[in-house]
Structure 1
Amino acid sequence: MGNGDTRVRGIAARAGGWSARHRWAAVGIWVLFVVLAMGIGSAVGRVDVDESDQLKGETHTAAQIIKQAGIEEPAGETVLIQSKDGGVKATDAEFRAAVDAVVKAVDATGKVTDVTSPYDTHTISQDGRSALVQFDMRGDADTSGDRVEPVLKAVKEVQKNHTSLRIEEIGGASMMKTFSDAFGDDFQKAEYSAVPVALGILLIAFGALVAALLPVALAITAIMATMGLMGIVSHLQPMSDTANSVMLLVGLAVGVDYCLFYLRREREERAAGRDAETALRVAAATSGRAVIVSGVTVCVAMAGMLFTGLAGFEAMGLASLMVVAVAMVGSVTVLPALLSLLGERVEKGRIPFLHRAMRRRNGGTGGTNGSRFWTAVLRGVLAKPVVSVVVAAGALLAIAAPAIGMKTENLTLDQEFGNSLPIVGTYNRVNAAFPGGSEPAEVVVKAKDINAPEVKSALADFREQAISSGASRGPVDIKLHDAENIAFVYVPLVGGSDRDKAGASLEKLRDEVRPATLGKVDGVQAPITGQVAGSHDFNDQLVGSVAPVFAFVVVFAFLLMLLSFRSLTVAITSIALNLLSVGAAYGILVAVFQHGWGASLVGAEGVGAIVTWLPLFLFVILFGLSMDYHVFVVSRIREARMRGRTTKDAIAHGVVTTAGVVTSAAVIMVAVFAIFGTLSMQSMKQMGVGLAAAVLIDATVIRGILLPAVMALLGERNWYLPKWLHRLPDLTHDESALMAPPPPPPAVEGEKVGV
């Protein structure tokens, strides 16, 4: 082999060596794996999360009762008929004529069933100026949005003939269609635009088309393979469209990052004068090892979502875990083979201006100069580490402070979409006239004989007490399914779109009204479900899973860092710095989306809360992704220390040599996540802003200032491992065996490093 030929322990080094020696076999195996995964996944199909498995508690019980009975609940639709100026009342002839016209028009489409008049169901507001015509869509509720267009057109035609009234439709099918039309392409646009954005940044980073395409190609093939694996695995753990979107997001981020780390190290070694074989071997044993440590840590973090007990979270966690694992394996196996095959051709497709700029940044062919900016910053940090720690940590704690008052809730329609859709106005008007009418509680009553006198009496008592208790203003609607001995009771909740008040009404139904009525009849089940109940049960389950998820992720990440670096100090500081960056991301989210500071800059005015699932999701994702940079930087510092540099010189060398690649990787992640911050849905906007802000903080303040300052203060204690821990497995390797003896360590100001 080339210079510095020494056998090196480590999975990454062995995998890279095998790959380089068996180049075509490695590439062929990877291509075969991707093709087989996609083919088998497509053949078996993907099983998505069933509504009955989404949650535990009463929501789950109700869904199971409906599922076991074989009842297909149709998509319910409502037409609001309302006086525009308050001059026309429901008792007036004009109003009655409009109601009759709506009933006839929707019925004539042939797409609906069970059309009811407000005069029969008493769905007339207390002020007498609003009424609801209600009906169900024929066919499967999940596809009702595809069939509702003729009904919407029929309602619009009636509106044209009654200009003094407001006639608007809302319901499961119409909302499905509206969202699909307005935002159905949003995710696809974001996902498709993420790839060219990442490619553009890589072109700037490398200045050559082939080098820039390699990370993107690896990420895309890893995503393709994972999509196939999701289909296979979904027969054991159902998946979802949301899990697919998260997988794409995480897969692109880590796939590009891992390849970027590997490729930049290989180029750096070649630029330093080493032959291609040795350069590749060094990259495999150093950056390849960092990729494996980082990948395993990210997988552990993603596995934390499996402890929530929420089917949606479990799907996201498993999908993310799989794509990280696939990208990690691809980076340490097929990438060395491709680099070995390409050789100098990896520089093909040079873009003159960008390539010259890149070479100027890297100091030409005879060596590489560290980032001037980070060199200057690091000089100050290492000169005054105490001040640096106090200032940087103090700033991050100040940014994190708003998170103390974080308010989480499942966003209502107007919070999620603001005034961007006309249907939001309809939603608000229905809730104002009929509190809770657009999202009623649904009581699923199962009895041995639904028509038994005692059951009918209990149903009547429930209807009466639901109103008399103050939980509902009515009307309470009951639909019987005699053959299945099941009844559905629909109860509009007082509070309407105010989730806190509606939640209190739900508790009153569950804790007071139900026990006093249906609860007194033996053999009767009456779980209460619906939008508000689903949100309530989701929150309860999510809150209950926070502690075990946090504990699992933190403990296992700590153990992995301890085993990978054999340093108790490195493990503790890794966890502390990661928690600080997550806290800062929480603070930014609360400041912008809850308190509204700078909300207009991201189109988030008036949200007033953080979507319930986001804090736990962000913690898991960020804790995993931030390990990328930490492992990469600390690995380089440890490598320099093992080669004989002092700890201070090793810190300087490690941070500045990784500055360019960490910056490039962070810019790609921030750009990809920021794309999701441009989406119209506030929950996706919050996710994008939170992820982008956290990665930016992590790659700058944490890795560029706090990490070197803390390590400088600790000195040789960075490598402290108590004697009683020496029996732990040794997952490190001797980096000093990779190189010829290093030149004398230069000062930070003149640091010759790779960027």
Structure 2
Amino acid sequence: VLYIPNIVALIGLGLAVDYSLLIQHRFRSELKVNSSVDQAVIETMRSAGRTVVLSGFIVTGGLACLLLMPIPFVRSLGVAGALVPLISIACALTLQPALLSYFGRKGSTPRKFHGIWERERGANSLITRVTKLVIKKPKLVFLTSTFTLLIAATPMLSLSLTPSSMSAIPKNLESAAALNWAAEKAGAGSITPIAIIMDLGSSGAALSNESKSARIALANSISANPEVFTVAGGEKSPYIDATGRYLRILVISKSEFGSPQTQALVKEIREKYLPESEFPKTVPIFVGGAAAQGVDLIEKLKSTLPLIILFTLLFAFFLLARTFKSIVLPLKAIVLNLLSTSVSYAAIVLVFKYGVGSTLLNTHQVEEIEAWVLIFIFAILFGLTMDYEVFLLSRMKEAIDLGATNEHAIEESLAKTIGVITAAAAVMFVAVMGLASGHFAGLQELGIGLAVGVAIDATIIRTFLLPSTMVLLGRWNWWLPKLFTSQR
């Protein structure tokens, strides 16, 4: 939960930069064809303003879907995260046009930077050459880009999850030294023991001979497990309450609470040892503690994440289909989004599990990735990459509506937006790499994943894969079934 304010601020920074750059860039273009500053502002908001609203609503819907997750700290990101794009939209539609109108041409480009901006066309000549290559050989570019990204995403197949990890705590902290000492002397699971709680129904029942016999038998059975360091129990506090009704047994694992071994032990206790115990079947038995909570967390994530992804993608699909009058473009956008997300997951596995570049980046090396990171990366990366998608498609749609061919629309939209997308992605890349420079593994994983996802999306996907796909699809890019056109 402590991470949420920093992550929400990160989302706000990314969206604010995206929207302000898009509007500013369009305003500068409109000033070249409009002598009136106010008219340039109006035309800017008529085009770029609509793009910002569409993008903001898609991001809001994606983050709001996190409310489906029955985990409080994930829901908190959903609530706070959904408010951020709405506030960004409000600022982009009110404050920014007011500032543009007030400062006019003075706020467009400082005179001393005119030379830099004048070289923009020279920079775009490289983009033009790349675009012409894509248009000339779309199959080659498409196959090469797709193959490269699929190969890059393969490490994701070895992804394994943990609720958290004690080994991810910075070693230079005094508390970490104490944890390591306790783990060495009393077992790694002594910090977070597995707690078995029983309600025997009446006062003194936990002190009966039958209860004592069943407790000892259960403890001996669990102790035989090779993963168990020790089992603690007794007839006094903290194992039996003052009334003698409630009984507690503590199981200390040899491995830390987030490890696969401890997760397997929790499941064995629940599914094997407790059902086979001598306690009556009517006795309510609960397995708790950090280790059990971690197992429950991962199970909830695994069962709910597909639903969240489905709702998020459906929401984006319908908004994009309604805006661009096509069902092909939304499907393509979703596939490309999932591809960049997969590569970001693979990057996390490479860096943190296999240690690729971990020395250079000064990151932890762990066997499992913290489960909450995957959800946050999907939600945040979905919003940012969909921003870039909407920026490009909006320009393409404008060109198509003005009578441009498919190839010319692709070339023109890339020339006019790739600079904005690259600048926004660069700012976001630097910002999220700040998380990667932190001391905790979870934040490092989040930072590396977002940085790689943003970089891949703004370069390979937007420059090569997206335009080559649109060239190959041709007129099918704008296909909408008659069933939907009749309802327009």
TM-score by length of 2: 0.91
Pair 566,369 (structure 1): closer, same or farther in 2 beyond 3 Å? farther
Matched letter for residue 684 of structure 1? L
1:499 and 2:259 equivalent?
yes
Would you say how many aligned residue pairs link Structure 1 and Structure 2? 480
Shift of 1:453: 5.5
Shift of 1:580: 1.3
Residue deviations 1:85-118, cap 9 Å, x none? xxxxxxxxxxxxxxxxxxxxxxxxxxxxxxxxxx
1:667 and 2:419 equivalent?
no
The equivalent residue for 1:513 is 273
Pair 261,528 (structure 1): closer, same or farther in 2 beyond 3 Å? same
Q: How does 1:209-608 map to 2 (within 5 A)?
A: 240-347=1-108, 350=110, 352=112, 355-362=113-120, 371-414=124-167, 416-417=168-169, 419-421=171-173, 423-435=175-187, 436-452=189-205, 457-458=210-211, 461-469=214-222, 470-471=224-225, 472-478=228-234, 479=238, 480-482=240-242, 485-496=245-256, 499-517=259-277, 519-520=279-280, 522=282, 524-608=283-367
Superposition RMSD in Å: 2.4
Matched letter for residue 248 of structure 1? A
Shift of 1:460: 5.7
The equivalent residue for 1:125 is none
Q: How does 1:41-52 map to 2 (within 5 A)?
A: none
Matched letter for residue 265 of structure 1? R
Matched letter for residue 324 of structure 1? P
Shift of 1:430: 3.0
Residue deviations 1:308-366, cap 9 Å, x none? 21111111112111111111122123322222222234258x484xx14433334xxxx
Counterpart CA distance in 2 for 1:450 and 1:345 is 81
Give yes or no for contact 1:403–1:587 (8 Å, CA) kept in 2. Answer: yes
Counterpart CA distance in 1 for 2:229 and 2:157 is 37
The equivalent residue for 1:714 is 473
Partner secondary structure for residue 439 of structure 1: coil
Residue deviations 1:170-202, cap 9 Å, x none? xxxxxxxxxxxxxxxxxxxxxxxxxxxxxxxxx
Counterpart CA distance in 2 for 1:491 and 1:518 is 18
1:620 and 2:379 equivalent?
yes
Q: Which has the higher contact order (CA 8 A, sep 6+)?
A: 2
Give yes or no for contact 1:306–1:313 (8 Å, CA) kept in 2. Answer: yes
Counterpart CA distance in 2 for 1:483 and 1:343 is 78
Counterpart CA distance in 2 for 1:578 and 1:668 is 20
Residue deviations 1:375-399, cap 9 Å, x none? 2221221221111111111111111
Give yes or no for contact 2:258–2:291 (8 Å, CA) kept in 1. Answer: no
Give yes or no for contact 1:633–1:655 (8 Å, CA) kept in 2. Answer: yes
Counterpart CA distance in 2 for 1:430 and 1:552 is 45
Shift of 1:496: 4.5
Partner secondary structure for residue 253 of structure 2: coil
For structure 2, the 5+ residue unaligned runs are none
Partner secondary structure for residue 327 of structure 1: helix
Pair 680,463 (structure 1): closer, same or farther in 2 beyond 3 Å? farther
Residue deviations 1:22-77, cap 9 Å, x none? xxxxxxxxxxxxxxxxxxxxxxxxxxxxxxxxxxxxxxxxxxxxxxxxxxxxxxxx
Pair 705,571 (structure 1): closer, same or farther in 2 beyond 3 Å? same
Partner secondary structure for residue 355 of structure 2: coil
Partner secondary structure for residue 195 of structure 2: strand
Residue deviations 1:424-474, cap 9 Å, x none? 454344334433222211223334434226667425632542233324443
**Larger radius of gyration between Structure 1 and Structure 2:** 1
Shift of 1:727: 3.4
Matched letter for residue 413 of structure 1? M
Pair 387,452 (structure 1): closer, same or farther in 2 beyond 3 Å? same
Give yes or no for contact 1:445–1:527 (8 Å, CA) kept in 2. Answer: yes
Partner secondary structure for residue 286 of structure 1: helix
Give yes or no for contact 2:364–2:441 (8 Å, CA) kept in 1. Answer: no
Matched letter for residue 93 of structure 2? V
Pair 572,498 (structure 1): closer, same or farther in 2 beyond 3 Å? closer
Pair 680,455 (structure 1): closer, same or farther in 2 beyond 3 Å? farther
Give yes or no for contact 1:445–1:487 (8 Å, CA) kept in 2. Answer: yes
Partner secondary structure for residue 196 of structure 2: strand
Please state which structure has a larger fraction of its residues in helix: 2
1:645 and 2:404 equivalent?
yes
Seq. identity, %: 27
Partner secondary structure for residue 492 of structure 1: strand
Pair 375,274 (structure 1): closer, same or farther in 2 beyond 3 Å? farther
Matched letter for residue 38 of structure 2? E
Q: Which moved more, 1:680-689 or 1:301-310?
A: 301-310
Partner secondary structure for residue 520 of structure 1: coil
Counterpart CA distance in 2 for 1:409 and 1:285 is 47
Counterpart CA distance in 2 for 1:516 and 1:714 is 61
Q: Which moved more, 1:581-590 or 1:504-513?
A: 504-513
Partner secondary structure for residue 444 of structure 1: strand
Matched letter for residue 252 of structure 2? P
Counterpart CA distance in 1 for 2:194 and 2:60 is 39
Counterpart CA distance in 1 for 2:209 and 2:25 is 74
Counterpart CA distance in 2 for 1:286 and 1:460 is 77
Shift of 1:408: 1.5
Residue deviations 1:599-624, cap 9 Å, x none? 22222353122211222321222122
Counterpart CA distance in 2 for 1:558 and 1:460 is 61
Pair 695,463 (structure 1): closer, same or farther in 2 beyond 3 Å? farther
Q: How does 1:95-244 map to 2 (within 5 A)?
A: 240-244=1-5
